[in-house]
Structure 1
């Protein structure tokens, strides 16, 4: 025979279990809404056997966990949620293809397919042995805190330019057809310094050298603090025996106080902290970096200041240096 307090304990345990099961069931049923279909899908032929597909970010009540790309209804690629583009290889030259994109969430819900976009790969060009010339006079402006427009002078190629690829620092973020020399980039962050370059590509998938680097700072959001990024970063490289000297100079940001140090990043990794031996300079600052890597080694370089409150500030634009041969 169960005692009254035992029956009460069992009843409470059962009630708690039912509450937990009900809560879990409610959570499982909560995410039944499909993400929105990706918009702004475009496709460009990257070469005779590849295409570059891009789209705009979709939305979901719980969050996007990835995107699937389909060719004629067959899934050919899956990418993480932060990536809004992918290259599709293994195509056939002189062939028309149709692509769609679907978003998915953590519950496995998939959006409706995007609008279909068509692209035709160019004919093979086995005689195309030379890469295009680099785009020239890259320029642009920030339309808003999240959008910039770029334009550049076109490249030439012994056969023909099939596309232009836009890079933000060392990552390709956009592509347009070889007949276009402008690009509009969205989804950026307000109050941020972005460094853009452009490369031309031909049907043999050869890329040109980079265009000039262009720094653009998006306007800060209303009420947000001003950018603390150094500006006007310039570099020059020279050889000294078996070493290479990289001289940097930049305009220091107005932080309301003295900047005691800077962090120097090479290829995305913090390499050294620049600390002044005496009184920190005002106005334009300089620093000499010594490298001992082989000639032809390529480095991406950027800096950020230590603010008077001890926190690290915003990054400068990025510069690329190649050690001379």
Structure 2
């Protein structure tokens, strides 16, 4: 009887030990695979890949793009597109995208998206004609619809690139003349242009620009200014400093604010860009100023996910201490 009880006790202990090991070795749940992946040939040697950006609550820190089974590029979470270059003309490719969370866990591959690059044209150095007749209108508070006249080129048009300000933000096939641009902010003015590209990567001059202001809806336009802004002074090694701290605006982007502009006395002073991941919670920065007894007005603003600069923080007035440091 004692032997039976001892065996039962040993079995129970083993079961508990296995259960404990299982709980300690539990791995983080992988994020969901990106959806809406598209691939558009930009030229005979390049493809523009896009996908739907994950919601903020998903905690995504970046994306990885694959050509077939080979990794070709890492993309930060602030972007949902990239150009893959160095491809071969007249070649079929399949692209997938995986999301990566803050723990480094990768999602499954997205659905594979096939694309075939066009054939190149020997010694084609002539750029296509400028796209004409660009028009646009808002499509809700966070998107716009663009339309233009098709460009002409001696070897045809492979794709059209859409630019917001000076940055390329989208690409569509050469057989279309419309585009829908998303991820915009309510109550904001944007300027767009379009360029045409042929198979040899010759790019046309930019179309005329069109300016569109997205409407502002009730409760749909969060404040873009940094909050809880503070400024104090100190001296160190014979120099005077303003020590600044603030809370980032809620931009709706999981990766935080990548850079800020700081203004002194109403004039741009410097751009603060984080070398790595932006800080969570209160951010801090020090700037060197002039002499003792100097009075300074200081404010800052954040760069938003759409590339625009947000509203300014409260402007503070600070005076450096008297006497020698």
Q: Please report the TM-score for the alignment, with normalisation by the length of structure 2.
A: 0.60
Q: Which of residues 183, 188, 192 is equivalent to 1:192?
A: 188
Q: Paired residue for 2:90?
A: 94
Q: Paired residue for 1:68?
A: 64
Q: Paired residue for 1:4?
A: none
**Structure 1 runs (4+) greater than 6 angstroms displaced:** 224-227, 302-307
Q: Is 2:186–2:220's contact at 8 Å kept on the other side of the alignment?
A: no
Q: Is 1:35–1:61's contact at 8 Å kept on the other side of the alignment?
A: no
Alpha-carbon distance, 1:81 to partner: 0.8
Q: Is 2:128–2:154's contact at 8 Å kept on the other side of the alignment?
A: yes
What CA distance in whole angstroms lies between the structure 1 residues aligned with 2:52 and 2:59? 15
What CA distance in whole angstroms lies between the structure 2 residues aligned with 1:222 and 1:145? 10
What CA distance in whole angstroms lies between the structure 1 residues aligned with 2:312 and 2:71? 47
Alpha carbons of 1:84 and 1:225: their partners in 2 closer, same or farther (altered >3 Å)? closer
Question: Pairwise mapping of residues 154-193 of structure 1 onto structure 2 (< 5 A)?
Answer: 154-193=150-189
Tell me how large the CA RMSD over aligned residues is.
Answer: 3.2
What CA distance in whole angstroms lies between the structure 1 residues aligned with 2:75 and 2:311? 34
What CA distance in whole angstroms lies between the structure 1 residues aligned with 2:165 and 2:267? 17
What CA distance in whole angstroms lies between the structure 2 residues aligned with 1:226 and 1:81? 21
Q: Between 149-158 and 110-119, report the one with greater CA deviation.
A: 110-119
Q: Which runs of 5 or more structure 1 residues have no equivalent in the other structure?
A: 1-24, 228-261, 265-301, 312-325
Alpha-carbon distance, 1:91 to partner: 1.1
Q: Paired residue for 1:103?
A: 99
Q: Which of residues 30, 38, 43 is equivalent to 2:39?
A: 43
Q: Which runs of 5 or more structure 2 residues have no equivalent in the other structure?
A: 1-22, 224-265, 269-307, 317-325
Q: Is 2:186–2:221's contact at 8 Å kept on the other side of the alignment?
A: no
Deviation digits for residues 50-74 of structure 1 (CA, Å, limit 9, x no counterpart) = 1111111024645111100011121
Q: What's the secondary structure of 2:158's corresponding residue?
A: strand
What CA distance in whole angstroms lies between the structure 1 residues aligned with 2:220 and 2:47? 40
Q: Paired residue for 1:215?
A: 211
Alpha-carbon distance, 1:171 to partner: 0.8
Alpha carbons of 1:263 and 1:186: their partners in 2 closer, same or farther (altered >3 Å)? farther
What CA distance in whole angstroms lies between the structure 2 residues aligned with 1:63 and 1:106? 6
Alpha carbons of 1:226 and 1:189: their partners in 2 closer, same or farther (altered >3 Å)? closer
Q: Is 2:185–2:221's contact at 8 Å kept on the other side of the alignment?
A: no
Q: Is 1:36–1:60's contact at 8 Å kept on the other side of the alignment?
A: no
What CA distance in whole angstroms lies between the structure 2 residues aligned with 1:74 and 1:170? 31
